Amino acid sequence: MDKLKVMTIFGTRPEAIKMAPLVKKLQETEEIQSVLCVTAQHREMLDMVLDLFELKPDYDLNIMQHGQTISDITVKVLKGVEEILQEVKPDIVLVHGDTTTTFVGSLAAFYQQVAVGHVEAGLRSGNIYSPYPEEMNRRLTGHLANLHFAPTEGNYKNLVKEGIGEEKIFVTGNTVIDALLQVVKEDYLFDNPLLNQIDYVNKKVLVMTCHRRENWGEPMENIFKAVVEIAEKHKDVEVIFPVHLNPNIRNLAKQIMGEAGNIHLIEPLDYEPFANLLSKAHLILTDSGGIQEEAPALGKPILVLRTETERPEAVEAGTVKVVGVEKQKIVEEVDKLLKSPSHYLEMATAINPYGDGRACERIVGALKYHFKLSKEKPEVFKR
């Protein structure tokens, strides 16, 4: 029998991190022919991950432009992926999460009547404008997909509530934990001298990231001003902020935070140093999706710079707190964590509601089961 042809499509840093271990697993699987297509919605930030995991795309649409709009990405991905699908004719396309590459890649596959498998399916914030446009991207992809790989039982329930057939959903855990476990090492040495010089024992290292579209403008100004106030008040804090390559964010960050001595604005880090930096941090401030899954696994308290989250599991477990985008509230919450050891300890519990490092194995198992290459259904991930 011919091999099952599985074409994976992704375009941004977080998709690449979370799909890299899956592509590796597909490549190792005898019965599968793996084809990798990147849209390069991101360029440098994508290439860093491809290099780290030694992945060579078979197709690269190279669409990134500075200042691109969501419509620019949509048009280029739709047309570009269509042509590749006509050439490759895969049995199934795999997409990840909630970016515009994800939604439009699935739409292109649907137009060619190619099956879609959605990795990291079923997360919902309940607000179509937050995260924006990701909540809608994820919902639309859910309705285009034929197979759904839901990280958690809660994600599974969200899909069932929307009328997705239970037999099409597999609860697998999140592949981000598979990736994280491959790169975090004890006694890791950074290439960046600043990161090696920092005294992680006597200083309180606060790692932050901030990039979401719904935070552009006033919310992001509030967040940056809050961090300046925190850095001024707490001289034992060192803030490390690897700034996203989006020029809007870089300019604002430089303008508001550039002068403070204990705030370090650095270039985006490769995944390996970044994950190891998280593991050495005292506290994390972020509006990222993926970091909300990684920090709990590393036992780091995390304050989420958003008004809602589609990842409630670690909030329920107490290691994540959604603090919003108002300056005073952010300062207060950080103050509490810095001043109260008991409050800090309550939040610094290592939990792993999102995965056990075996999500990719389950996804490949589900593909084999669905396409009748195996009679065995993969076991359900339980936290």
List interacting residues with ligand UD1 (CB under 6 A). 12-14, 41-46, 64, 66-68, 70, 98-100, 133-134, 211, 245-247
Residue keyed to tokens 């995390």 = 302
Which is closer to ligand UDP, CB of 13 or CB of 76? 13
Distance, in Å, from the CA atom of 173 to the CA atom of 176, rounded to the nearest integer, reads 9
Q: How far is the CB of 268 from ligand UD1 (least distance, A)?
A: 8
DSSP SS3 for 169: strand
Q: Residue 345's CB: how many other CB atoms inside 10 A?
A: 10
- How would you classify the pairing of strands 263-266 and 237-242? parallel
Q: Which does 67 bind (CB under 5 to 8 A by kind): ligand UDP, ligand UD1, none?
A: ligand UD1
Site membership for ligand UDP, residue 347 (CB under 6 A): no
Q: Which does 241 bind (CB under 5 to 8 A by kind): ligand UDP, ligand UD1, none?
A: none
Distance, in Å, from the CA atom of 230 to the CA atom of 227, rounded to the nearest integer, reads 5
The DSSP letter of residue 299 is: T
Q: Which of residues 254-293 bind ligand UDP (CB under 6 A)?
A: 268-269, 271, 274-275, 288-291
Total residues contacting ligand UDP by CB under 6 A comes to 16
Q: Which does 156 bind (CB under 5 to 8 A by kind): ligand UD1, ligand UDP, none?
A: none
Q: How far is the CB of 213 from ligand UD1 (least distance, A)?
A: 6
The DSSP letter of residue 286 is: E
Q: Which does 294 bind (CB under 5 to 8 A by kind): ligand UD1, ligand UDP, none?
A: ligand UDP
Helix extents (H) in the chain: 13-28, 44-52, 70-88, 100-111, 134-144, 153-161, 175-183, 193-197, 218-233, 247-257, 271-280, 291-298, 313-317, 327-339, 341-347, 359-370
Site membership for ligand UDP, residue 61 (CB under 6 A): no
Q: Which of residues 167-226 bind ligand UDP (CB under 6 A)?
A: 209, 211
Distance, in Å, from the CA atom of 220 to the CA atom of 216, rounded to the nearest integer, reads 6
Q: Which does 246 bind (CB under 5 to 8 A by kind): ligand UD1, ligand UDP, none?
A: ligand UD1
Q: How far is the CB of 272 from ligand UD1 (least distance, A)?
A: 17
Residue from 294, 310, 313, 333 binding ligand UDP (CB under 6 A): 294
Distance, in Å, from the CA atom of 15 to the CA atom of 101, rounded to the nearest integer, reads 9
Q: 42-65: buried (b, 16+ CB within 10 Å) or exposed (e) per residue?
A: bbebbebbbebbebebebbbebbe
Per CB under 6 A, which region of 9-17, 84-92, 148-156, 311-319 contacts ligand UDP?
A: 9-17
Which is closer to ligand UDP, CB of 304 or CB of 366? 304
Q: How far is the CB of 178 from ligand UDP (least distance, A)?
A: 12
Contact indicator for 244, 21 with CB cutoff of 8 Å: no
Which two three-digit tokens encode residue 44?
């440098």
Q: Give the residue numbers annotated as catalytic, written as ranges.
A: 98, 120, 134, 211, 213, 244
Site membership for ligand UDP, residue 17 (CB under 6 A): yes
Residues in touch with ligand UDP (CB under 6 A): 13-14, 17, 209, 211, 242, 268-269, 271, 274-275, 288-291, 294
